[in-house]
Structure 1
Amino acid sequence: MINRRHVLAGCGATLSTLGLPKPARATGRAKVMRLVITNALASQTGQGATVFAERVAASSGGRLRVEIYPAGVSGGELETTQDVAKNALELSIVSSVGFAIVAPKLGVFDIPFLFRDVAHARAVLDGPVGQKALMEVEAGGLVGLAWSENGLRHLTTASVPVRSPKDLSGLKIRVPQSVAMITGFKALGADARPLAFPDLYGALSAGEFQGQENPLGNIAGANFDRVQRYLSLTGHIYSAAMLIMSRQAYDLLSEDERTMVRAAARAATQAARETGDRNEARLTAELGKRGMTVIADVDRAAFATAIRGADAQFETEYGKPLLEAIRAVRS
């Protein structure tokens, strides 16, 4: 069984000429870099990771190779981000649980109902706000190569369908380790508590939570339909993800290798988005066939109004100018 210890094995090797941690081990002529994701390969991030690996190998003529370790075999996103930051791991694709730990202001993207729709979210990330955000992780020893995405996040519950904020009152809801999500769901009346994704299925099965929220790919890939009855299409958060690389590993690449890696990262962004666009309707139908009751008549306007009651907290945490800049972007 592949686990965290196996993924990180051998990370202590050094380059004798530079005295720096080795960013990738040599296999014949190839440099092999490890890329960890917490989701399955069939997910949006998984498809993005696959395209990234393929493009890196093709553009480098096999000189660079990316090994993908999916489904959280190296732990949750906090652990993975920390491993990349200290150069114990070369690459990962992480949500705000990871990138906001080194750049807390980027947790702003997790505010529920901040984005009007997917087009608005992508316009923000592709524009000045998003491109500046990629650079802000550098202070934590990371290089933000490109944006990826987990998709729209929706709610699932075991016994109570959610259509409006009143349906969340007192519900024990699992959320990621995200300040904005915890604040947001508490403002909506839920009893929101954080838990790492790899531990979530077991917690739902044991009844520790009455519900959770995730993109459809994660819900289907993790078989949450076996422990949750209702799927409410709230689309409350556009789950941004970032393809990050160890600063030390990046610096040890040649200039042409860096160009290849960044071009591959941009291709990964497009692949993840295309996968998300295809999967939203398909996965909704699939989860319905698996036995989930799909709630489509969600009152998003009521949720968007209710969440504004937490604006003072969000402005204190992230700054009013940043919130206004995001809301002003037109798609």
Structure 2
Amino acid sequence: MSGRLRVAAAIIGLCSILAAPQAEAQERVLRLGYLFSQSSQLGAGAERFASEVAKRTGGGFRIELYPNGTVGGEVETAEELRQGHLDIAFITSAPFSGIIPEFGVFDIPFLFRDARHAHAVFDGPIGQDYLRKFQQKGLVALAWGENGMRHITNGKRAVTGPEDLKGLSMRVPQSDIMLAGFRAFGVKAEPLAFPALYGALQSGRFDGQENPIAVITASHFEKVQTHLTLSGHVYSWAAMIMSKSAWEALGPAEQKAFVEAAKAAGQVSREVAGRAETEGVEALRKAGMSVVASVDRAAFERSLQATTAEFSKTFGAETIRQIKSVR
């Protein structure tokens, strides 16, 4: 090799050494936490978000996923986001009525006719207005996702109407509105963080609980519950949320990429939750659960009349009317 070639080779080698750490430094790592397992609707959405962010930013970001409540329950996760200790989370509706009171309106039992009605609300002007409300707590909501229509399980008896719930002890999320609703049905309802729920059902601390089918199947509640009622009493939304500090560290093009990735993630979570409404129910039936396919919705609504009047005072009768009237 000539002297000139040796010099060129040395320069190329030196450039490679210098470039390697620089290339590594260009990839920024952000942490994303969520409550359920990787096989859940949130898990599917989180996986899609990570892959979409990597693709849309040309590998500029790597999203590390922390499933199964690794960073704590959702109340704790929201606080970690608010303080900037966590970058991103895919969080369900459960804690937000206690964090941003206006969100409690969506926890009113039997507010939504079905998931299609809920999608129309959240994808329309009402939903976009509420997406901006996260800013009140220093959070940036990128897009809506889905936890699913919530259904009742218990280990005591079949539930077809509100009278069947009387006397049952049930875990409900940390939502004052859902607590009030179930107590109006005569339920001994108490809140409990989700990570402790399986053990509480197994020990008999609670007779029952309520969650979307995707959560029931992913959490294997069929092992500790015998009755499933497809009540669809509450639509549980989810949202991909960033801490303000993580969001503001992004450039405009990166912010756009993250929003588009979040929209894709939200759609995947809806698809998984939707499939669970059919495939999951059949799997639970095959696993030995007895299934009540429909409930006396009118009877439930009648038993809620006094409580509904209080909800109208709290959130405004016109707000509730607008949500119910969306087609």
Q: Under a length normalisation based on structure 1, what TM-score does the superposition of the two structures give?
A: 0.89
Name the structure 2 match of 1:202. Answer: 199
Kindly indicate which of the two structures has a greater share of residues assigned to helix: 2
Q: Pick from 303, 310, 322: which aligns with 1:313? A: 310
Gaps of 5+ in 1: 1-25
Name the structure 1 match of 2:242. Answer: 245
Q: After TM superposition, give the deviation of residue 132 of structure 1 in Å.
A: 0.6
Name the structure 2 match of 1:272. Answer: 269
Name the structure 1 match of 2:222. Answer: 225
Q: Pick from 132, 135, 139: which aligns with 2:136? A: 139
Name the structure 2 match of 1:304. Answer: 301
Name the structure 2 match of 1:284. Answer: 281
Question: What one-letter code is carried by the residue in structure 2 that aligns with 1:207?
Answer: G
Q: After TM superposition, give the deviation of residue 97 of structure 1 in Å.
A: 2.7
Name the structure 2 match of 1:192. Answer: 189
Task: State whether residues 113 and 307 of structure 1, in contact with CA within 8 Å, keep that contact through their aligned partners in structure 2.
Answer: no
Question: What one-letter code is carried by the residue in structure 2 that aligns with 1:252?
Answer: A
SS in 2 for 1:35: strand
Name the structure 2 match of 1:166. Answer: 163
Q: Pick from 92, 113, 117: which aligns with 1:116? A: 113
1:64 matched to 2:61: yes
1:34 matched to 2:31: yes
Q: Distance in 1 between matches of 2:144 and 2:25?
A: 32
Q: Distance in 1 between matches of 2:230 and 2:122?
A: 23
Task: State whether residues 99 and 137 of structure 1, in contact with CA within 8 Å, keep that contact through their aligned partners in structure 2.
Answer: no
Task: State whether residues 159 and 292 of structure 2, in contact with CA within 8 Å, keep that contact through their aligned partners in structure 1.
Answer: yes
CA gap 1:308/1:126 in 2 versus in 1, 3 angstroms: farther
SS in 1 for 2:95: helix
Identity of aligned residues (%): 46
Q: Distance in 1 between matches of 2:110 and 2:58?
A: 44
CA gap 1:142/1:27 in 2 versus in 1, 3 angstroms: farther
Q: Deviations over 1:209-252 (max 9, x none)?
A: 11100011111111111111101111111111111110111011
Name the structure 2 match of 1:148. Answer: 145
Q: Deviations over 1:130-175 (max 9, x none)?
A: 1110101101010011111111111000011111000011211100
> What is the aligned length?
305
Q: After TM superposition, give the deviation of residue 27 of structure 1 in Å.
A: 5.5
Q: After TM superposition, give the deviation of residue 96 of structure 1 in Å.
A: 2.2
Q: Under a length normalisation based on structure 2, what TM-score does the superposition of the two structures give?
A: 0.90
Q: Distance in 1 between matches of 2:87 and 2:26?
A: 18
Cα RMSD between the aligned structures? Answer: 1.3
Q: Deviations over 1:300-324 (max 9, x none)?
A: 2322332233112212322222111
SS in 2 for 1:97: coil
